[in-house]
Chains A and B, each alone.
Chain A
Amino acid sequence: MKRVFVGMSGGVDSSVTAALLVEQGFDVTGVYMKNWTQDLPGMRCPWADDLADAKRVAVQLGISLKVYDFQDQYRQKVVDYMLAEYQAGHTPNPDIMCNQEVKFKLFLDTALADGADMIATGHYARLENCDWCVEVGENRKKLLKAADEQKDQTYFLYRVTGEALGKTVFPLGEYTKSHVRKLAEERGLATAQKKDSQGICFVGSVGIHEFLQEFVETTPGNIVDKHTGKTLGRHDGAIYYTLGQRHGLDLGGGMPYYVVDKDMARNEVFVSRDLNDRSMWCSYLELEQIHWINQPAKEGESLRVRLRHRGALHPAIYSNGNLEMQEAERAVAVGQSAVLYLGDEVLGGGIVSGA
């Protein structure tokens, strides 16, 4: 019987994941990953409640629950990375880093060393055997979009290796979210009614702005009209603004302004009222830190690119680290990930370094 270690966060998705694997006859062990959180005085510590929920479900399923303490590594690999990126004026994605560094590296390695044959998570994504891998005797898997397009989480998974996926199961890949909730209710799982978590887990309810305020030093600067060069207002730190943003500018009424550019050195944020401002639109993307799950895309291959979680898939041609998109796309910020799809398969992607 295969031993599967399931990452259980105390949410409904990972609860159902564990339940399905138990029903499928696997030898299942739950693992709660204690990642870094900020303890706020007076607030009920959220991780304790999540751990309790994970434990409740483990008890219901009759499986054991281990706690892996990844706080230090998580702080280093995910939180510090995010802070550094923001500080550089970029728009990072900590979830992608969490999957790359924590769930499909640290958790996988720890679980394997701890006696697991495989790991499982509650991600909405599918895995498929890879023909050429089998031929060369490698245990790798291909990553495919989830059946539920609305919940598909492959955008967050493109920096995982095919080798790690070879030791992974995603039992929820074929289900819709509402179906998963129904499965939870049918089984009377303690987390069946629990609300989905929102936003970045370690930022919690305070919101990214307040979180950054605490960890990154910023100085106020000017908000400048890109066309007239006129100073329209003040901001409390250019790092808080991302391309295409229109909220939180506080520039008074009338037609909305959009962030179209930032000058980190001068701490200035440029805005425009023109939705078609050329600097907001681009059709050519330069990528760095390119990662392929299994094999690189072929030169000149027609692919589709996704620029944000659940964002549209845009036709694009890949060539030597660059992407030529068929149609211009609005507000692509440096630091954002461009994820490449061939049909349903996620080939990999890179981080936008120039647009």
Chain B
Amino acid sequence: MSQESIYLDYAAATPLDSTVLEAMILYFSDVFYNPSAPYEGGRLARDALESARSEVAQVLGAKSTNVIFTAGATESIQIALVGLLKSGGYAVIGATEHAAVRGCVRDFPSRIALADNRGYITPESVRKVIQDDTVVVSIALADSEFGTVQPIADIAHMINLVRHDRREKGNKTPLYLHSDGSQATGSLELKTSRLGVDLLSLNASKCYGPKQVGVLWVRNGIVLEPLVSGGGQERGLRSGTENVAGAVGCAKAISMAQTMRYDENRRLQELRTYLLQQLEQIDGLVVDGHPKKHLPGHLHVHISGLDSERVIYRLDIDGVYIATGAACAANKGKRNPALEAVGMTPAEADGSLRISLGRSTTKQQLEIAARAIKRAIDLERGL
């Protein structure tokens, strides 16, 4: 990223925090040993891995034996969902779920819990599509397009009632709630007991940690069928020599973000409000997502009929980086289905912009960015 550029796509990737990098560096070459090795070096690596696991467990308020490290949230989700569905049964997923979730259930019978026009998925909406043979429900803590925060605890409560109901009726099919916490890892509550989920997938790369490292938390007693067999590392769910540096970085990034989140969320929320004030002057601009329940630094807007891909290229020339879920090259020519799921027309969807703020975002940057966005939209409209 060049000095002058203004990065506003933190929902896509975050820079590695320097403290996190510092914590990781030791484990690339000095303590490179295989954590399974029987000598001192192996023990050092093992200790680092296990203390990273404890660090994550502490954030989750869970037992560290239930925390496994993976190669990112996509893999966590895959291990969770496919691991449950392989032995049969239906899945329910939210209408705005990420491709990582949609891709998992493609080969399994599944139903979709509808979202309202704010991208909000109510427990009732989920309840409607749960059948007697549904084994897993997967709803993100917050979606990646609109940043709408879902009522996961309420959904968990509803699922408990369904379980109770099943027991009464003698239906022995288990029912689990999985949540993709990728977008929320840095900013939302992650205590599993408060969330009420049974499985939780997290990502280090969205909270200033390394890419290709993630976490899957699995509640006690849930048996998953492993997708990869091998040395049986990570409780047999993710064989392969552990990525100790990655795990250390992941744990550090998650715990740091969780420590910072009260202050940082407030700061991001203020910045978002400021940005919104600037952008609201644009004629025809509609703010998407939930007006209250949204990620603090996440702003999604659309202007019907605008070619958002062109706006993004124009901003690129000005050094302002933002995103879109529209049908464009970045999305392989396909729209994010989440846009249609909230009832957007193709013209609205292709005129949508996602602006996500992060730790390095300043008010001054937003002032410049807002001006550039307004100018880009004006120029596009002049054509």
Q: Which residues of A contact B (CB under 8 A)?
A: 44-45, 48-49, 51-52, 55-56, 58-60, 62-64, 190
Cross-chain contact B309 with A55 (CB below 8 angstroms): yes
Q: Which residues of B contact A56 (CB under 8 A)?
A: 313, 316
Cross-chain contact B309 with A60 (CB below 8 angstroms): no
Given contacts A55-B309, A55-B310, contact A48 B329 (CB under 8 A): yes
Give the distance in Å from the alpha carbon of A63 to the alpha carbon of B330 in the complex: 21
Question: Which one of B317, B329, B333 lies within 8 Å of A60 (CB-CB)?
Answer: B317
Cross-chain contact B317 with A52 (CB below 8 angstroms): no
Give the distance in Å from the alpha carbon of A60 to the alpha carbon of B314 in the complex: 7
Question: Which one of B317, B329, B379 lies within 8 Å of A51 (CB-CB)?
Answer: B329
A52-B309, A59-B314 known, 7 other contacts, Cβ within 8 Å = A48-B333, A51-B329, A51-B333, A55-B309, A56-B313, A56-B316, A59-B310
Q: Which residues of B contact A62 (CB under 8 A)?
A: 379, 383
9 A-B Cβ contacts within 8 A?
A45-B333, A59-B310, A59-B314, A59-B317, A60-B313, A60-B317, A62-B383, A64-B383, A190-B313
Nearest-neighbor residue (CB-CB) of A52 within chain B: B329
Q: Which residues of A contact B328 (CB under 8 A)?
A: 52
| Residues of chain B in range 299-356 having any CB-CB distance to chain A below 8 Å | 309-310, 313-314, 316-317, 328-330, 332-333
Q: Which residues of B contact A44 (CB under 8 A)?
A: 332
Q: Which residues of A contact B330 (CB under 8 A)?
A: 52
Cross-chain contact A49 with B329 (CB below 8 angstroms): yes
Give the distance in Å from the alpha carbon of A60 to the alpha carbon of B317 in the complex: 8
Q: Which residues of B contact A51 (CB under 8 A)?
A: 329, 333
Total A-B contacts with CB atoms under 8 angstroms apart: 31
CB of A152, distance to nearest CB on chain B (Å): 32
CB of A5, distance to nearest CB on chain B (Å): 15
Q: Which residues of B contact A (CB under 8 A)?
A: 309-310, 313-314, 316-317, 328-330, 332-333, 379, 383
Q: Which residues of B contact A52 (CB under 8 A)?
A: 309, 328-330
Nearest-neighbor residue (CB-CB) of A57 within chain B: B313
Q: DSSP majority for the B interface? A: helix
CB of B321, distance to nearest CB on chain A (Å): 14
Give the distance in Å from the alpha carbon of A59 to the alpha carbon of B332 in the complex: 19
Cross-chain contact A45 with B314 (CB below 8 angstroms): no
Q: Which residues of B contact A63 (CB under 8 A)?
A: 383
Q: Which residues of B contact A49 (CB under 8 A)?
A: 329
Cross-chain contact A59 with B313 (CB below 8 angstroms): yes
Q: Which residues of B contact A64 (CB under 8 A)?
A: 383
Nearest-neighbor residue (CB-CB) of A29 within chain B: B383
CB of A268, distance to nearest CB on chain B (Å): 45
CB of A186, distance to nearest CB on chain B (Å): 16
Nearest-neighbor residue (CB-CB) of A50 within chain B: B329
Nearest-neighbor residue (CB-CB) of A56 within chain B: B313
Q: Which residues of A contact B329 (CB under 8 A)?
A: 48-49, 51-52, 55
Cross-chain contact B313 with A55 (CB below 8 angstroms): yes
Q: Which residues of A contact B379 (CB under 8 A)?
A: 62
CB of B333, distance to nearest CB on chain A (Å): 5
Q: Which residues of A contact B316 (CB under 8 A)?
A: 56
Give the distance in Å from the alpha carbon of A48 to the alpha carbon of B334 in the complex: 10
Q: Which residues of B contact A60 (CB under 8 A)?
A: 313, 317
Nearest-neighbor residue (CB-CB) of B315 within chain A: A59
Give the distance in Å from the alpha carbon of A60 to the alpha carbon of B333 in the complex: 21
Give the distance in Å from the alpha carbon of A75 to the alpha carbon of B200 in the complex: 48
Nearest-neighbor residue (CB-CB) of B309 within chain A: A55
CB of A66, distance to nearest CB on chain B (Å): 11
CB of B27, distance to nearest CB on chain A (Å): 32
Cross-chain contact A48 with B314 (CB below 8 angstroms): no
The 10 closest A-B pairs by CB, nearest first: A52-B329, A59-B313, A48-B329, A56-B313, A48-B333, A59-B314, A59-B310, A64-B383, A48-B332, A49-B329
Q: Which residues of B contact A190 (CB under 8 A)?
A: 313
Nearest-neighbor residue (CB-CB) of A59 within chain B: B313
Q: Which residues of A contact B309 (CB under 8 A)?
A: 52, 55
Nearest-neighbor residue (CB-CB) of A49 within chain B: B329
CB of A139, distance to nearest CB on chain B (Å): 30
Nearest-neighbor residue (CB-CB) of B330 within chain A: A52
Nearest-neighbor residue (CB-CB) of B382 within chain A: A62
Give the distance in Å from the alpha carbon of A335 to the alpha carbon of B302 in the complex: 54
Give the distance in Å from the alpha carbon of A64 to the alpha carbon of B328 in the complex: 15
Give the distance in Å from the alpha carbon of A83 to the alpha carbon of B332 in the complex: 28
Nearest-neighbor residue (CB-CB) of A60 within chain B: B317
Give the distance in Å from the alpha carbon of A55 to the alpha carbon of B329 in the complex: 10
CB of A27, distance to nearest CB on chain B (Å): 12
CB of B367, distance to nearest CB on chain A (Å): 23
Q: Which residues of A contact B310 (CB under 8 A)?
A: 55, 58-59
Give the distance in Å from the alpha carbon of A208 to the alpha carbon of B332 in the complex: 25
Q: Which residues of B contact A58 (CB under 8 A)?
A: 310
Q: Which residues of B contact A59 (CB under 8 A)?
A: 310, 313-314, 317
CB of A118, distance to nearest CB on chain B (Å): 20
Nearest-neighbor residue (CB-CB) of A45 within chain B: B332
Give the distance in Å from the alpha carbon of A311 to the alpha carbon of B317 in the complex: 42
Give the distance in Å from the alpha carbon of A47 to the alpha carbon of B309 in the complex: 16
Q: Which residues of A contact B317 (CB under 8 A)?
A: 59-60
Give the distance in Å from the alpha carbon of A63 to the alpha carbon of B317 in the complex: 15
CB of A241, distance to nearest CB on chain B (Å): 37
Give the distance in Å from the alpha carbon of A190 to the alpha carbon of B316 in the complex: 11
Give the distance in Å from the alpha carbon of A314 to the alpha carbon of B383 in the complex: 50
CB of B51, distance to nearest CB on chain A (Å): 39
The residue in B310, B328, B329, B333 that gathers the most chain A C-beta atoms within 10 A of its C-beta is B329
